[in-house]
Structure 1
Amino acid sequence: MKITVVGGSKGTGAQFAKLAHQAGHAVTVLSRSGQAPSGVRALAGDATDAQVVRDAVAGADAVVLTVGAAKKVPHQRALITQTVIAAMHDAGVRRLVVQSSLGAGNSGSQMPGFLRFAMLLMLAKPLADHNTQENYVSSSGLDWTIVRPTGLTNKEATGSWKALTVSDAGMLGGTITRSDLAAFLLHTLDDKSSIGQTIGISNG
């Protein structure tokens, strides 16, 4: 599979790009820095620039979006997501997997009470960005999946996770490793049953 990762120079995106490359996929990473894991095609550019993104997704079978926030740009994720969706339509690319965040949208019921209060209080602006991002994705007409991780850590991968849609019974834990999240994103990419689903994920 040919996969374009938008925002894959570090963090979860870089972990995903590395895993996808090791699994035999042809991976392109678009980031402002132009950095990417060894063996992965790297492109430097502004992911809000329509032409830059069109070049990055051209010929791809799927796009994975793992962008973070940017200083003094209150809706960075949403702006990039809007640009990526338009580029995918232009290029005829259908499959889109997006990393959002638990706390966005209707995911409050999946969170422990203490975590819900803390996130809504401390992360109101980032969650507003994610809400707009998710709205763009769910109305895109693409074959999309939104993944909402809990608090991210840099611990070693556990190889296991709990993944729930909002209609599933149960509650998620407080954290997930970036490595486990990356592995789940790779699994989800080829899982047709996840299309049109919004999934919360934690390590327990």
Structure 2
Amino acid sequence: MKITVVGGSKGTGAEFAKLAQQAGHEVTVLSRSGQAPHSVRALAGDASDPQVVRDAVAGADAVVLTVGAAKKVPQQRALVTQTVIGAMQVAGVRRLVVQSSLGAGDSGSQLPGFLRFVMLLALAKPLADHNAQEAHVTSSGLAWTIVRPSGLTNNEATGRWKALTASEAGTLGGTITRSDLAAYLLHALNDDSSIGQAISLSNR
């Protein structure tokens, strides 16, 4: 599979790019810095620029979006997501997996009880960005999956996770490693049952 990762120069996106390449996929990373994991094809450019993104997704089978916030851009994730969706629609690329955040959309009840109100208050602005991002995704007409991780850590991968769809009751743990999140993104990309689902995720 040919996969374009938007926002894959570091963090979860870089972890995903490495795993996907190791699994035999052809991976391209688009980032402002032009950095990518060793031997992964890298493109430098602004992911809010439609032409840059059209060039990056041309010929891809799927796009994985792990973009973060940006200084002085109030809703960077939503802006980039809207641009990526437009480029995919032009290019005829259908499969999209997006990293959002636990607490976004209708997932507030899945937050750990001791963190629920603190996180929703302290992360109001990032969550507003994720909510706008998710609105673009769900109205895109693409074959999308939204993944909402809990707090991210740089700990070693555990190979385990707890996943809840938006319709499932329950609460999640407070953290998940970036490596485990990346592995789940790859799992979801290959799982057609995840299409049209918003899935919350933690290590336990």
Are 1:135 and 2:143 an aligned pair?
Answer: no
Q: After the TM superposition, which residues 26-45 of structure 1 pair with which residues of structure 2 at under 5 Å, given as runs?
A: 26-45=26-45
Q: Count how many residue pairs are aligned between Structure 1 and Structure 2.
A: 204
For the 8 Å contact 1:109–1:166, the answer to whether it is kept is: no
The match for 2:66 is 66
Percent of aligned pairs sharing the same letter: 83
Cα shift at 1:166? 2.1
Secondary structure of the 2:118 match is: helix
The Cα offsets for residues 113-146 of structure 1, whole Å up to 9 and x where unpaired, read as: 2211111111110000000000000000000000
The match for 1:192 is 192
Query: 31-40 or 106-115: which moved more?
Result: 106-115
The Cα offsets for residues 91-112 of structure 1, whole Å up to 9 and x where unpaired, read as: 0000000000001011011112
The Cα offsets for residues 132-162 of structure 1, whole Å up to 9 and x where unpaired, read as: 0000000000000000000000000000000
Cα shift at 1:57? 0.1
Secondary structure of the 1:187 match is: helix
Cα shift at 1:169? 2.8
Q: After the TM superposition, which residues 1-204 of structure 1 pair with which residues of structure 2 at under 5 Å, given as runs?
A: 1-204=1-204
Measured in 1, the distance between the counterparts of 2:113 and 2:160 equals 24
Query: 130-139 or 106-115: which moved more?
Result: 106-115
- Runs of 4+ in structure 1 deviating by more than 2 angstroms, as ranges, are none
Aligned amino acid, residue 86 of structure 1 = G
Question: Could you state the TM-score of these two structures normalised by the residue count of structure 1?
Answer: 0.99
For the 8 Å contact 2:21–2:40, the answer to whether it is kept is: yes
For the 8 Å contact 1:177–1:203, the answer to whether it is kept is: yes
Aligned amino acid, residue 80 of structure 1 = V
Measured in 2, the distance between the counterparts of 1:171 and 1:103 equals 11
Measured in 1, the distance between the counterparts of 2:24 and 2:132 equals 34
Aligned amino acid, residue 60 of structure 1 = A
Measured in 2, the distance between the counterparts of 1:51 and 1:109 equals 39
